[in-house]
Amino acid sequence: MPEIIYREAIKRGLEEALERDPRVFMMGEDIGEYGGAYAVTDGFLEKFGPERIKDTPISEQAFMGAGIGAAAAGLRPIIELMSISFSLVAFDQIVNMAANLRYMSGGQISVPMVIRAPTGAGVQLAATHSQSFETWLAEVPGMKVVCPSNSYDALGLIRSAIKDNNPVFVAEPALLYGAKAEVPDEYYEIELGKARIARAGSNITLVSYGYGMRPVEAAADRLSMVGVSAEVIDLRSLNPLDMDTVVASVQKTHRVVVVDSARRTGGIMAEVAAEVQQRAAEWLDGPVMRVGSVDVPWPYSHDLEQKVLTDSDDVLNAVSEGYGL
Protein backbone atom coordinates (compact mmCIF):
# COMPACT_ATOMS: atom_id res chain seq x y z
CA MET A 1 0.00 0.00 0.00
CA PRO A 2 1.34 3.49 -0.75
CA GLU A 3 2.48 5.58 2.18
CA ILE A 4 1.61 9.25 2.46
CA ILE A 5 2.27 11.87 5.09
CA TYR A 6 -0.48 13.27 7.27
CA ARG A 7 -0.46 16.67 5.58
CA GLU A 8 -1.00 15.00 2.19
CA ALA A 9 -3.85 12.93 3.55
CA ILE A 10 -5.73 15.99 4.77
CA LYS A 11 -4.93 17.73 1.52
CA ARG A 12 -6.29 14.83 -0.53
CA GLY A 13 -9.53 14.84 1.44
CA LEU A 14 -9.99 18.57 0.94
CA GLU A 15 -9.13 18.40 -2.74
CA GLU A 16 -11.61 15.61 -3.44
CA ALA A 17 -14.38 17.54 -1.73
CA LEU A 18 -13.58 20.73 -3.65
CA GLU A 19 -13.65 18.72 -6.89
CA ARG A 20 -16.82 16.84 -6.05
CA ASP A 21 -19.09 19.47 -4.54
CA PRO A 22 -19.32 23.06 -5.77
CA ARG A 23 -20.86 24.09 -2.46
CA VAL A 24 -17.59 23.28 -0.72
CA PHE A 25 -15.21 26.22 -0.38
CA MET A 26 -12.40 27.20 1.98
CA MET A 27 -11.62 30.22 4.11
CA GLY A 28 -8.63 31.03 6.27
CA GLU A 29 -5.59 33.22 6.83
CA ASP A 30 -2.93 32.78 4.17
CA ILE A 31 -4.42 29.57 2.77
CA GLY A 32 -4.22 30.96 -0.78
CA GLU A 33 -1.26 32.98 -1.98
CA TYR A 34 0.96 31.90 0.90
CA GLY A 35 -0.08 28.27 0.50
CA GLY A 36 -1.13 27.68 4.09
CA ALA A 37 0.88 28.11 7.28
CA TYR A 38 1.48 24.34 7.30
CA ALA A 39 1.30 24.02 3.50
CA VAL A 40 -1.86 21.89 3.60
CA THR A 41 -3.56 24.03 0.94
CA ASP A 42 -0.47 24.58 -1.20
CA GLY A 43 -1.51 24.93 -4.84
CA PHE A 44 -5.25 25.19 -4.09
CA LEU A 45 -5.57 28.83 -5.13
CA GLU A 46 -4.13 28.04 -8.56
CA LYS A 47 -6.36 25.01 -8.93
CA PHE A 48 -9.68 26.23 -7.53
CA GLY A 49 -9.46 30.01 -7.78
CA PRO A 50 -10.05 32.83 -5.32
CA GLU A 51 -13.83 32.32 -5.15
CA ARG A 52 -13.36 28.98 -3.46
CA ILE A 53 -10.00 29.47 -1.74
CA LYS A 54 -10.61 32.61 0.22
CA ASP A 55 -7.74 34.35 1.96
CA THR A 56 -9.21 36.16 4.94
CA PRO A 57 -8.13 39.16 6.96
CA ILE A 58 -6.80 38.33 10.43
CA SER A 59 -10.37 38.40 11.73
CA GLU A 60 -11.08 34.96 13.14
CA GLN A 61 -14.32 36.00 14.77
CA ALA A 62 -15.71 37.49 11.58
CA PHE A 63 -14.73 34.78 9.12
CA MET A 64 -15.79 32.02 11.49
CA GLY A 65 -19.16 33.73 11.82
CA ALA A 66 -19.38 34.24 8.07
CA GLY A 67 -18.68 30.55 7.60
CA ILE A 68 -21.56 29.73 9.90
CA GLY A 69 -23.83 32.05 7.93
CA ALA A 70 -22.78 30.55 4.63
CA ALA A 71 -23.39 27.07 6.01
CA ALA A 72 -26.81 28.09 7.30
CA ALA A 73 -27.62 29.16 3.74
CA GLY A 74 -26.64 25.76 2.36
CA LEU A 75 -22.97 26.09 1.43
CA ARG A 76 -20.37 23.75 2.93
CA PRO A 77 -17.48 25.87 4.14
CA ILE A 78 -14.19 24.48 5.38
CA ILE A 79 -12.45 26.92 7.66
CA GLU A 80 -8.78 26.71 8.49
CA LEU A 81 -7.45 28.28 11.66
CA MET A 82 -3.68 28.77 11.70
CA SER A 83 -3.55 27.33 15.18
CA ILE A 84 -6.11 25.92 17.56
CA SER A 85 -4.83 28.54 20.01
CA PHE A 86 -6.39 31.19 17.77
CA SER A 87 -9.76 29.45 17.99
CA LEU A 88 -10.17 31.40 21.23
CA VAL A 89 -10.70 34.57 19.22
CA ALA A 90 -13.57 32.78 17.43
CA PHE A 91 -14.86 30.77 20.36
CA ASP A 92 -18.02 32.78 20.74
CA GLN A 93 -18.96 32.09 17.14
CA ILE A 94 -18.08 28.40 17.36
CA VAL A 95 -19.79 27.69 20.65
CA ASN A 96 -22.64 30.18 20.92
CA MET A 97 -23.52 30.25 17.26
CA ALA A 98 -22.39 27.20 15.25
CA ALA A 99 -23.15 24.62 17.90
CA ASN A 100 -26.43 26.14 19.11
CA LEU A 101 -28.16 27.28 15.93
CA ARG A 102 -29.84 24.02 15.07
CA TYR A 103 -31.24 23.43 18.54
CA MET A 104 -32.33 27.02 19.11
CA SER A 105 -34.15 27.07 15.80
CA GLY A 106 -35.97 23.85 16.55
CA GLY A 107 -34.11 22.09 13.77
CA GLN A 108 -34.78 24.67 11.07
CA ILE A 109 -31.16 25.60 10.52
CA SER A 110 -28.16 23.32 10.13
CA VAL A 111 -24.50 24.31 10.03
CA PRO A 112 -22.67 21.85 7.74
CA MET A 113 -19.22 23.22 8.27
CA VAL A 114 -15.72 21.90 8.96
CA ILE A 115 -13.25 23.82 11.10
CA ARG A 116 -9.65 22.59 10.89
CA ALA A 117 -6.74 23.63 13.04
CA PRO A 118 -3.28 22.39 13.95
CA THR A 119 -3.12 21.53 17.62
CA GLY A 120 -0.68 20.67 20.36
CA ALA A 121 2.73 21.44 21.78
CA GLY A 122 6.20 20.09 21.15
CA VAL A 123 7.81 22.59 18.80
CA GLN A 124 8.69 25.34 21.26
CA LEU A 125 5.98 27.81 20.33
CA ALA A 126 5.46 28.69 24.02
CA ALA A 127 2.35 29.45 26.00
CA THR A 128 0.04 31.11 23.48
CA HIS A 129 0.68 28.80 20.52
CA SER A 130 0.89 25.29 21.98
CA GLN A 131 -2.51 24.51 23.42
CA SER A 132 -4.98 21.71 22.69
CA PHE A 133 -8.45 23.16 22.86
CA GLU A 134 -10.06 20.17 21.17
CA THR A 135 -10.58 18.93 24.71
CA TRP A 136 -12.63 22.05 25.55
CA LEU A 137 -14.64 21.87 22.35
CA ALA A 138 -15.40 18.20 22.92
CA GLU A 139 -17.85 19.02 25.71
CA VAL A 140 -19.98 21.32 23.56
CA PRO A 141 -23.22 19.66 22.41
CA GLY A 142 -24.29 20.44 18.85
CA MET A 143 -20.95 19.85 17.23
CA LYS A 144 -18.51 17.01 16.62
CA VAL A 145 -14.78 16.88 17.33
CA VAL A 146 -12.23 14.53 15.83
CA CYS A 147 -8.46 14.34 16.16
CA PRO A 148 -6.81 11.83 13.82
CA SER A 149 -3.45 10.37 14.82
CA ASN A 150 -2.24 9.09 11.43
CA SER A 151 -2.62 9.58 7.68
CA TYR A 152 -5.13 6.78 7.21
CA ASP A 153 -7.49 8.10 9.84
CA ALA A 154 -6.93 11.68 8.76
CA LEU A 155 -8.18 10.97 5.24
CA GLY A 156 -11.08 8.79 6.34
CA LEU A 157 -12.22 11.24 8.99
CA ILE A 158 -11.87 14.40 6.91
CA ARG A 159 -13.99 12.78 4.20
CA SER A 160 -16.74 12.05 6.70
CA ALA A 161 -16.39 15.43 8.38
CA ILE A 162 -16.97 17.28 5.12
CA LYS A 163 -20.04 15.17 4.33
CA ASP A 164 -21.50 15.61 7.81
CA ASN A 165 -24.37 18.06 8.21
CA ASN A 166 -23.09 19.44 11.52
CA PRO A 167 -20.20 21.62 12.57
CA VAL A 168 -17.21 19.29 12.81
CA PHE A 169 -13.94 20.40 14.33
CA VAL A 170 -10.90 18.55 13.00
CA ALA A 171 -7.88 18.99 15.27
CA GLU A 172 -4.65 18.11 13.46
CA PRO A 173 -1.62 17.53 15.72
CA ALA A 174 1.02 19.84 14.25
CA LEU A 175 3.77 17.42 15.21
CA LEU A 176 2.24 14.75 12.99
CA TYR A 177 1.97 16.65 9.68
CA GLY A 178 5.12 14.99 8.40
CA ALA A 179 4.36 11.48 9.72
CA LYS A 180 3.89 8.72 7.14
CA ALA A 181 1.37 5.89 7.10
CA GLU A 182 -0.16 3.51 4.58
CA VAL A 183 -3.22 4.82 2.80
CA PRO A 184 -4.98 2.78 0.12
CA ASP A 185 -5.88 4.27 -3.25
CA GLU A 186 -9.39 2.80 -2.94
CA TYR A 187 -11.96 5.17 -1.48
CA TYR A 188 -12.97 4.70 2.15
CA GLU A 189 -14.52 6.76 4.91
CA ILE A 190 -14.30 6.47 8.67
CA GLU A 191 -17.48 6.99 10.62
CA LEU A 192 -17.28 9.89 13.07
CA GLY A 193 -17.56 8.70 16.66
CA LYS A 194 -15.82 5.34 16.33
CA ALA A 195 -12.66 4.51 18.22
CA ARG A 196 -10.02 2.20 16.75
CA ILE A 197 -8.20 -0.63 18.45
CA ALA A 198 -4.71 0.24 17.36
CA ARG A 199 -3.24 -2.87 18.88
CA ALA A 200 -4.97 -5.81 20.54
CA GLY A 201 -3.76 -6.94 23.94
CA SER A 202 -4.89 -8.70 27.07
CA ASN A 203 -3.21 -7.28 30.20
CA ILE A 204 -3.96 -3.57 30.20
CA THR A 205 -5.88 -1.00 28.15
CA LEU A 206 -4.14 2.22 27.14
CA VAL A 207 -6.44 4.93 25.76
CA SER A 208 -5.38 8.05 23.91
CA TYR A 209 -5.86 10.00 20.66
CA GLY A 210 -3.98 12.38 18.38
CA TYR A 211 -0.38 13.04 19.33
CA GLY A 212 -0.93 11.13 22.59
CA MET A 213 -0.79 7.94 20.52
CA ARG A 214 2.97 8.40 20.18
CA PRO A 215 3.86 7.97 23.88
CA VAL A 216 1.17 5.32 24.23
CA GLU A 217 2.49 3.23 21.33
CA ALA A 218 6.02 3.61 22.67
CA ALA A 219 4.88 2.54 26.13
CA ALA A 220 3.07 -0.47 24.66
CA ASP A 221 6.27 -1.49 22.87
CA ARG A 222 8.24 -1.23 26.08
CA LEU A 223 5.61 -3.17 28.01
CA SER A 224 5.67 -5.98 25.44
CA MET A 225 9.40 -6.32 26.03
CA VAL A 226 8.69 -7.20 29.65
CA GLY A 227 5.87 -9.55 28.73
CA VAL A 228 2.92 -7.23 29.33
CA SER A 229 0.39 -7.22 26.51
CA ALA A 230 -1.25 -3.81 26.17
CA GLU A 231 -4.40 -3.13 24.21
CA VAL A 232 -4.11 0.33 22.67
CA ILE A 233 -7.22 2.34 21.81
CA ASP A 234 -7.19 5.44 19.64
CA LEU A 235 -10.37 7.40 20.36
CA ARG A 236 -10.10 9.30 17.04
CA SER A 237 -13.31 11.11 17.91
CA LEU A 238 -13.73 13.13 21.13
CA ASN A 239 -17.38 13.90 20.49
CA PRO A 240 -19.16 11.60 20.07
CA LEU A 241 -17.04 9.51 22.37
CA ASP A 242 -16.96 5.76 21.69
CA MET A 243 -17.09 4.52 25.27
CA ASP A 244 -18.43 1.10 24.20
CA THR A 245 -15.08 0.23 22.66
CA VAL A 246 -13.19 1.42 25.74
CA VAL A 247 -15.48 -0.36 28.21
CA ALA A 248 -15.34 -3.62 26.24
CA SER A 249 -11.56 -3.50 26.32
CA VAL A 250 -11.44 -2.80 30.06
CA GLN A 251 -13.77 -5.73 30.68
CA LYS A 252 -11.18 -7.86 28.94
CA THR A 253 -7.97 -6.46 30.46
CA HIS A 254 -9.23 -5.26 33.89
CA ARG A 255 -6.70 -2.44 33.83
CA VAL A 256 -6.75 0.96 32.20
CA VAL A 257 -4.59 4.04 31.80
CA VAL A 258 -6.03 7.04 29.94
CA VAL A 259 -3.46 9.33 28.35
CA ASP A 260 -3.63 12.84 26.94
CA SER A 261 -0.83 14.93 25.46
CA ALA A 262 -2.90 17.96 26.39
CA ARG A 263 -2.87 19.20 29.98
CA ARG A 264 -3.92 16.55 32.46
CA THR A 265 -6.63 18.35 34.36
CA GLY A 266 -10.16 18.76 33.12
CA GLY A 267 -9.69 17.49 29.59
CA ILE A 268 -11.44 14.74 27.67
CA MET A 269 -9.61 12.02 29.60
CA ALA A 270 -11.35 13.11 32.80
CA GLU A 271 -14.55 12.27 30.96
CA VAL A 272 -13.24 8.91 29.77
CA ALA A 273 -12.03 8.04 33.27
CA ALA A 274 -15.38 8.94 34.83
CA GLU A 275 -17.30 6.87 32.28
CA VAL A 276 -15.05 3.84 32.76
CA GLN A 277 -15.49 4.15 36.51
CA GLN A 278 -19.26 4.28 36.17
CA ARG A 279 -19.64 1.55 33.60
CA ALA A 280 -16.85 -0.87 34.42
CA ALA A 281 -15.82 -0.36 38.06
CA GLU A 282 -16.45 -3.97 39.01
CA TRP A 283 -14.20 -5.19 36.18
CA LEU A 284 -11.20 -3.17 37.31
CA ASP A 285 -8.25 -4.51 39.31
CA GLY A 286 -7.12 -1.03 40.28
CA PRO A 287 -7.82 2.67 39.87
CA VAL A 288 -8.45 4.26 36.49
CA MET A 289 -5.08 5.91 35.95
CA ARG A 290 -4.90 9.27 34.21
CA VAL A 291 -1.83 10.74 32.51
CA GLY A 292 -1.49 14.14 30.88
CA SER A 293 0.89 17.00 30.37
CA VAL A 294 1.80 19.07 33.42
CA ASP A 295 -0.81 21.67 34.38
CA VAL A 296 1.26 24.75 33.63
CA PRO A 297 1.39 27.18 30.72
CA TRP A 298 3.59 25.79 27.93
CA PRO A 299 7.21 26.87 28.42
CA TYR A 300 9.44 27.83 25.49
CA SER A 301 12.68 26.17 26.59
CA HIS A 302 13.16 22.82 24.88
CA ASP A 303 14.04 20.96 28.07
CA LEU A 304 11.15 22.38 30.06
CA GLU A 305 8.67 21.76 27.26
CA GLN A 306 9.76 18.15 26.89
CA LYS A 307 9.36 17.64 30.64
CA VAL A 308 5.88 19.11 30.58
CA LEU A 309 4.78 17.07 27.55
CA THR A 310 3.44 13.57 28.19
CA ASP A 311 5.97 10.88 27.29
CA SER A 312 6.16 7.10 27.45
CA ASP A 313 7.87 7.22 30.87
CA ASP A 314 4.81 8.98 32.26
CA VAL A 315 2.62 6.22 30.83
CA LEU A 316 4.79 3.44 32.25
CA ASN A 317 4.90 5.12 35.64
CA ALA A 318 1.11 5.16 35.72
CA VAL A 319 0.96 1.51 34.67
CA SER A 320 3.29 0.62 37.49
CA GLU A 321 1.70 2.86 40.09
CA GLY A 322 -1.84 1.72 39.34
CA TYR A 323 -1.28 -1.94 38.66
CA GLY A 324 2.26 -2.85 39.70
CA LEU A 325 3.15 -3.92 36.17
Partner 1 sequence: MASRTKPRGKNSSKTANSPKAGKNGASGAAGLDESDVAIKGDHLELFRQMFLIREFELACGENYARGFIRGFLHLYIGQEATGVGAISALGENDYIVSAYRDHGHALARGVDVNRAMAELFGRSTGLSKGKGGSMHLFDAAKGFMGGHAIVGAHLPLAAGLALAQQYEKTEGITMCFFGDGSTNQGVYHETLNLAAVWQLPILFLLENNGYGMGSAIERVRAGGKDFYPGLATYGIPAVEVDGMDVLAVKEATEIAVGNIRAGGGPQFIEAKTFRFVGHSYADGQKYRGREEVAEWEERDPVVTFPENLIKMGLASKEQIDRVKAETTAVVENAVKFAEESPNPDPTEIFTDVLA
Ligand X SMILES: Cc1ncc(C[n+]2csc(CCOP(=O)(O)OP(=O)(O)O)c2C)c(N)n1
Q: Of 58 and 200, which has the nearer Cβ to ligand X?
A: 58
Based on the shown chain and the rule CB under 6 A, indicate whether residue 89 belongs to the binding site for ligand X: yes
Q: Least distance from C-beta 61 to ligand X, angstroms? A: 9
Q: Of 63 and 152, which has the nearer Cβ to ligand X?
A: 63
8, 29, 60, 231: the catalytic one is 60
Site for ligand X in 9-38 (CB under 6 A): 29
Based on the shown chain and the rule CB under 8 A, indicate whether residue 127 belongs to the binding site for partner 1: yes
User: Phi, psi at residue 145, to the nearest 5°?
Assistant: -135, 125
Active site residue 129: yes
Give the residue at shortest CB distance from ligand X.
86
The correct pick among 38, 86, 136, 169 for binding ligand X (CB under 6 A) is 86
Cβ–Cβ < 8 Å for 145, 239: yes
**Residues contacting residue 320 through CB under 8 Å, at least 6 positions apart:** none
Q: Of 90 and 280, which has the nearer Cβ to ligand X?
A: 90
8, 29, 80, 129: the catalytic one is 129
Residue 294 interacts with, from partner 1, ligand X, none (CB under 5-8 Å by kind): partner 1
Q: Of 117 and 157, which has the nearer Cβ to ligand X?
A: 117
Based on the shown chain and the rule CB under 8 A, indicate whether residue 55 belongs to the binding site for partner 1: yes
Residue 265 interacts with, from ligand X, partner 1, none (CB under 5-8 Å by kind): none
The DSSP bridge partners found for residue 257 are: 206, 289
> Angle of helix 6-20 relative to helix 151-163, nearest 10 degrees?
30
Q: Of 36 and 167, which has the nearer Cβ to ligand X?
A: 36
Binding mask 223-262 for partner 1 (x = CB under 8 A): ----------------------------------------
Which residues here bind partner 1, judged by CB under 8 A? 29-30, 33-35, 37, 55-62, 85-86, 88-89, 123-129, 294, 296-297, 299-304, 307-308
Question: Which chain residues interact with ligand X by CB under 6 A?
Answer: 29, 58, 60, 82, 86, 89
Residues classed as catalytic: 60, 129
